[in-house]
Amino acid sequence: MKALAYEKAHPLDAFAIELVDIAEPRLRDGDVLVEVAAIGINPGEAAIRQTRSAAPGGRVVLGWEFAGVVVAIGDVATGFAIGDRVMGTGDITRDGAWAERVAVDHRVVAKIPDELSFTDAASLPIGVLTAWEALFRDQDSLPAGVERVLVIGAAGGVGSMATQLLKATTSAFVIGTASRPESARWVTEMGADLVVHHHRDLPGQLRGTVDLVFSTSGTGSRLESITEVLRPFGHVAFIDAPGPVDLGALAGRSLSLHTETVFSKITAGGDVSSQGRILARTAQDVTAGRLRPIVTTTLDGLTAETMRTAHTLAESGLTIGKTVISLDPHRNR
């Protein structure tokens, strides 16, 4: 089958992902095999391209956000039939979905309704799962006493879903951050009650404390102002790589620090099936109009050129919503 792959870690200006022929994925017992129809793009994948090399003689296939059709089912995978339209993530230690087909653990996959296009579906999984686990942990609800939430980077792929999730499933007052008029407009469309500028004085703009800060970008450089806007015993959840940080200031306010890696359940253990359940609920919420897909840019075709464009957008830090690559045969299904 065709796949987009590379051998050595490389920067964007030496982009080396190519369309190559590789063997069909080997299905594990708990897997479904999915014919990929659309791919969601994440900055984390661009970061992995810069740091992960293949073992000698091997290649790396990235991409852990997709929508497509089930074409084969492992012996112990349940809940799916051949022909089901699905969306899902995957396992960053295995080959990803930048390929014609991907083998993926059925527990991180959910069916999608007929009215949801593959392109729209592929914009949802990583954002909704990351936001859900960062905000609700393993409790399916916000920590007790959280009524005002600040979402930093609220126009991005994860911030967009965090803002929508908070408004759709909680009664929290949601403040989103954005630094451009177009991203600020988008954050309002996602449902934020108030939009503030993340490169300006946060405490000054907020007029009052918040109970939880969900930080998607720039966490390390902004920890001081994050601390300042939180009430004592408040919560910080972050998802980016903050680098070396001094946590002393957090202790001064007895803050709780929440980390989140969307792949931790599948790679480190935990309730992996909860991710399939969250995705199934997301599909229902989209059908009911409680959540909306976040595609803002659609690129066409599984080609190296399309993927280079996607990586350029991902590394710009300017993405609003989500970039999705549509693979032609299923475009309008």
Residues of this chain that bind ligand NAP (CB under 6 A): 42-44, 47, 126, 130, 152-153, 155-159, 178-180, 183, 198, 216-218, 239-240, 260-262, 317-320
Q: Which is nearer to ligand NAP, 68 or 157 (CB)?
A: 157
Phi, psi of 297 (to 5 degrees): -135, 125
Q: Which is nearer to ligand NAP, 39 or 320 (CB)?
A: 320
Give 180's Cβ-side CA count (13 Å radius): 9
Closest distance to ligand NAP from the beta carbon of 111 (Å): 23
CA distance 195 to 190: 11
Altogether, the residues listed in the chain come to a count of: 333
Residue closest to ligand NAP, measured at CB: 156
Closest distance to ligand NAP from the beta carbon of 138 (Å): 15
Q: In what order do the strands lie in the sheet with 148-152?
A: 194-196, 173-177, 148-152, 210-215, 230-238, 256-259
- Measured at the alpha carbon of residue 120, what is the angle toward residues 17 and 258, in degrees to the nearest 5? 80
Closest distance to ligand NAP from the beta carbon of 332 (Å): 26
Give the residue among 167, 174, 132, 169 at the shortest CA–CA distance from 151.
174
Closest distance to ligand NAP from the beta carbon of 158 (Å): 4
Residue whose structure tokens are 């729209």:
120
Closest distance to ligand NAP from the beta carbon of 297 (Å): 11
Closest distance to ligand NAP from the beta carbon of 304 (Å): 21
Where residue 83 falls (left for φ over 0; alpha for ψ -120 to 50; beta otherwise) is: left
Closest distance to ligand NAP from the beta carbon of 41 (Å): 9
**Burial of 195: CB neighbours in 10 Å, binned 0-12, 13-18, 19+:** buried
Phi, psi of 47 (to 5 degrees): -65, -40
Q: Which is nearer to ligand NAP, 158 or 192 (CB)?
A: 158
| DSSP structural state of residue 229 | H
Q: Which is nearer to ligand NAP, 80 or 98 (CB)?
A: 98
Q: Which is nearer to ligand NAP, 99 or 161 (CB)?
A: 161
Q: Which is nearer to ligand NAP, 250 or 320 (CB)?
A: 320
Q: Which is nearer to ligand NAP, 35 or 240 (CB)?
A: 240
CA distance 154 to 132: 14
CA distance 283 to 269: 25
Closest distance to ligand NAP from the beta carbon of 154 (Å): 8
Q: Which is nearer to ligand NAP, 198 or 292 (CB)?
A: 198
CA distance 251 to 240: 21
